[in-house]
Structure 1
Amino acid sequence: MFDFGFWEFGLIAVIALIVVGPEKMPALARKAGLYAGKLKAFTTKIKNEINDEFETEKLKEAVSFSEESSSISQSLSEVGGISDIIKQEGDKVINSLKDEK
C-alpha cells in the first residue's frame, strides 16, 4: 500500500520511540495497528463498491445491446414479410402476363 521497506519502518519506529517514550510506545503501536486495519478495510470496501458499480454498468450495456438487437431482428422480420408480399404480387403480375399471351 505505502511501499515501506525495513529501513524506513525502523527509522519511523526509532523516531516514534524518541518522541513518545518507551512507556507509551506499546499503546501507540496498538492504536496505529488498529487504524491501519480500519484503513485497509475501508479501502477494500470502497474498491469492492467501485467494482460492483462497473459490473452493474456492464450489465446495463448488455441489456441495452440485447434490446437493440431484438428491435433490429423484429425490423428484419417485418422487412422479410414485406418482401414475401412483393414476391407474391410479382408472381401474380408474371402469371397474368403469361395468361395474356
Structure 2
Amino acid sequence: MFDIGFWELAIIGVVTLIVVGPERMPGLARTAGKWFGRISRFISSVKSDIDRELKADEMKKAMEKHTQGTGLHEIIEETKADMADIKQSTDEMVTATNEAALEAENSTGDDTSDYDLNPSLNKDEPRT
C-alpha cells in the first residue's frame, strides 16, 4: 500500500529512537500498533461494507430485471384477456347477424317458391 521497504523502516525506527528516546519507545510502539490495528480493522470493515453493498446492488438489479419480466408477463395476460373479450363480442355479433338473416329469410323467403324464375324452361320437357 505504501511501498515501504526494509531499509526505509529501519531508518524510520532509528530516527524515532533518537527523537523519542529508549525509555518511551516501547509505549510508542504499543500505541502505534494499536492504531495500526484499528486502522486495519476499519479498512477491512469498509471493504466488507462495500462488498455487501455491491452484492445488494447486484441482487436489486436482478430483482428489477425479474420484476420487469413479470410486468411483461402481466401485459401478455391482459392482452390475452382483451383478445378473448373481443372474440366473444365478435361471436355475439356474428350470431346476432345470422339470426337476423334467418329471420329476414323466413319473413320473405317463403313467397319466392311460387314464382317461376325462368319461364322459358318448361318443367315437363327434359333438359338437353
Q: TM-score range by the shorter chain?
A: 0.7 to 0.9
Residues in 2 aligned to 1:35 and 1:3: alpha-carbon distance in whole angstroms: 19
Amino acid at match of 1:48: S
Deviation digits for residues 17-41 of structure 1, max 9, x if unmatched? Answer: 1100111111111111111011000
Amino acid at match of 1:3: D
Amino acid at match of 1:61: K
In structure 1, list runs of 5 or more residues that go unmatched.
97-101
- Choose between structure 1 and 2 for higher RCO, CA contacts under 8 A separated by at least 6 residues: 1
Quote how far apart the aligned CAs of 1:81 are: 5.0
Quote how far apart the aligned CAs of 1:73 are: 1.6
Quote how far apart the aligned CAs of 1:85 are: 6.8
Residues in 2 aligned to 1:38 and 1:2: alpha-carbon distance in whole angstroms: 17
Q: Which residue of 2 aligns with 1:48?
A: 48
- Specify which structure has the higher proportion of helix: 1
SS of equivalent to 2:69? helix
Q: Which residue of 1 aligns with 2:105?
A: none
Aligned residues: 95
In structure 2, list runs of 5 or more residues that go unmatched.
99-128
RMSD: 2.5
Identity over aligned pairs, percent: 38
Amino acid at match of 2:25: M
Residues in 2 aligned to 1:14 and 1:39: alpha-carbon distance in whole angstroms: 24
Q: Which residue of 2 aligns with 1:64?
A: 64
Length-normalised TM-score, structure 2: 0.61
Length-normalised TM-score, structure 1: 0.74
1:8-87 matches, within 5 Å, as: 8-82=8-82
